[in-house]
Amino acid sequence: MRRSESSLIFAVIALAQAVFAGGVNAAGFSPPAAVKLEIAQAHASAHRSQLSDLLARAKVLSSSGKFLKAYELLAGAEDTYIGVIEFDYALGRAALDVGRPDKATLAFERVLALDPSHAGALIDMGRAYLALGNYDQARTTFETLLRLGPPPAVRAQLQAYLDQARARGQARSHKSAGRMQHGYLAAVVGRSSNVNQSPGQPQVFIPAFGATYVLSNQNVRKADGFAGVMGGVDASLPLNDTYSLVAGGEFSERRNNHESAFDLGGLGARIGIAAATQAQLLRVQLFTGRDYLGGSPSRDMNALGLDYFRDLGKANRLLAFAQAGRLRYLPEELKIFDADFRIFAAGVSRKIGGDSTAFVTISTGGMYDVGGNPSGNERQLGWRLGADVAILPRFRLMGNVAWQRGRYDRFDPAFLTQRLDFLTALELALQYALDPRTALRLGVAQTDQRSNIPIYGFDRTELSLSLRYEFP
């Protein structure tokens, strides 16, 4: 006799003893509370025993490769045990085994509704997303679990699933050149040591006149706090398995606490066509944009750009960029800086660990004077090196360092030399993921431009705190 049946019999005997002892009213069957509790416990014990037996039989079937029979056995008992964590989890896993990820997600959702931290259901929900082709949801699930710092063995398993989600999602995006829309919104506050990007010294010596001149107050470095908002969106319309129309836009607005004459803003848009295969992506786009300074239009930009990406194995990716266009200043006093430009860059990125990336690029190009710039045409050469590293669950450390040389070809008659600039820039940021789509970032940026013509030299340090939300 099984234990559950024995317990039930003992409860019935106890009830009978209570009846013969006068514990039951002849007009109505009303056993004592203790007896009622014992009967309920006996039924619960029998129920648990039957569920344990059912799960054990399903496990034996699965272990012997009879996945369909295991699933049918559990599915047949769903009405009886639905809402029981152990049963729903077993049913979800059985559904995955027979290729029913849609059924599996329903079962796992019931588990997680009762126990949001159920590790097995969280992992298997990610597996179900993979099977359904919801690669972004699968990637988000596995990335979130990895940030929680699982044990090494579990981390290796999660990383393998994450790699699958990324690879399959990348293959799909290469086929369609990115079928999904993506965008972001962000807000930032901070402080800059040089909001007007000007030299720190109020005086400058001009060799042609042999005299020192005092710069206007607006052209001397000013420190101030600032706040801003920004956002952008990318979208694509597949034409076939290879080609897609692509488009995007962005905006930014940054206002200083006091120096409103140097408030910055910008609007930009782009449209083009993309061609993608399994391992590479090529985009050709038209760009247009307008910059604002002090609340007024400052500069227009129009350009034609080309981007190329090619996977070099599982860890490396080749990057190449080219852009040609024109810059036209709107205020009459700034039109001498009108220029056409051409920029070329190439580099490589590499995964370093499961969720970290490093990159390096080199660039060259030029700014070709059309407005009468006394320095003439500029030839540029530069490089950039950076990384994005997962350091703790939910924390990432990002940084990059850049260097650029600008050499001009015209002899400046006022300063009796050809202008030569050297710019170095360093950016560091610590990011905390509030959730998979929202991040808080603390950053510091240092920019230093040295020039043999003093009015073009400046240095700037900025501290900022930003909140960014990304949406699909």
Q: What is the pLDDT of residues 350-373, one digit of tens each?
A: 888 667 889 999 999 999 999 999
**Chain center to CA of 158:** 18
Cα separation, 19 vs 404, whole angstroms = 97
Cα separation, 414 vs 452, whole angstroms = 13
Q: Report pLDDT for 354.
A: 61
Higher per-residue pLDDT: 134 or 44: 134
| CATH number for domain 3-175, candidates 1.10.8.80, 3.40.50.620, 1.25.40.10, 3.40.50.80 | 1.25.40.10
Decide if 400 contacts 384 (C-beta within 8 A). yes
The number of helices, as runs of H, and strands, as runs of E, in the chain is 9, 16
In Å, how far are 284, 424, 462 from 192, measured between CA atoms?
Answer: 36, 17, 4
Give the closest residue to 204 by CA, choosing from 186, 188, 192, 220.
220
In Å, how far are 112, 142, 185, 245, 303 from 271, measured between CA atoms?
Answer: 43, 33, 20, 8, 11
Pick the most confident of 229-243, 322-336, 351-365. Answer: 322-336
Give the closest residue to 293 by CA, choosing from 186, 218, 367, 343.
218
Place of tokens 């009846």: 19
Helices 85-97 and 119-132, interaxial angle, to 10°?
30
Give the closest residue to 118 by CA, choosing from 67, 72, 126.
126
Q: What is the pLDDT of residues 56-86, one digit of tens each?
A: 988 888 888 888 888 889 988 888 888 888 8
Higher per-residue pLDDT: 125 or 323: 323
Higher per-residue pLDDT: 125 or 193: 193
Pick the most confident of 21-35, 39-53, 134-148, 326-340. Answer: 326-340
Cα separation, 447 vs 316, whole angstroms = 30
Q: What is the mean pLDDT of residues 426-433?
A: 95
Q: What is the pLDDT of residues 82-107, one digit of tens each?
A: 888 889 999 989 998 888 888 888 88
Polymer length of the chain: 472
DSSP 19: H
The domain ranges of the chain are: 3-175, 181-471
Mean pLDDT of the chain: 84
In Å, how far are 269, 292, 447, 459 from 254, measured between CA atoms?
Answer: 19, 10, 18, 19
Decide if 126 contacts 142 (C-beta within 8 A). yes
Decide if 359 contacts 386 (C-beta within 8 A). yes
Is residue 22 over pLDDT 50? Answer: no
Radius of gyration of the chain (CA): 34
Decide if 162 contacts 135 (C-beta within 8 A). no
Q: What is the mean pLDDT of residues 322-328?
A: 97
Place of tokens 């042999």: 210
Least confident of 37-41, 119-123, 231-235, 333-337: 37-41
| CB neighbour list of residue 20: distance below 8 Å, 6 or more residues apart | none
Residue 345 tokens read as 């860059």
N- to C-terminal Cα separation, the chain: 59
Is residue 402 over pLDDT 90? Answer: yes
Higher per-residue pLDDT: 35 or 275: 275
Cα separation, 287 vs 267, whole angstroms = 11
Is residue 178 over pLDDT 60? Answer: no
Task: List Cβ<8 Å contacts ≥24 apart for 142-148.
Answer: 143/355, 143/436, 144/436, 145/119, 146/354, 146/355, 146/390, 146/393, 147/390, 147/393, 147/394, 147/433, 148/393
Is residue 341 over pLDDT 70? Answer: yes
DSSP string, 384-399: EEEEEEEEETTEEEEE
Cα separation, 296 vs 186, whole angstroms = 23
Q: Report pLDDT for 136.
A: 83
Cα separation, 288 vs 280, whole angstroms = 26
Decide if 245 contacts 270 (C-beta within 8 A). no
Is residue 133 over pLDDT 90? Answer: no
Q: Report pLDDT for 161.
A: 81
Higher per-residue pLDDT: 240 or 93: 93
Q: Report pLDDT for 27.
A: 37
CA contacts within 13 A on the Cβ side of 324: 2
Give CATH for domain 181-471.
Answer: 2.40.160.40
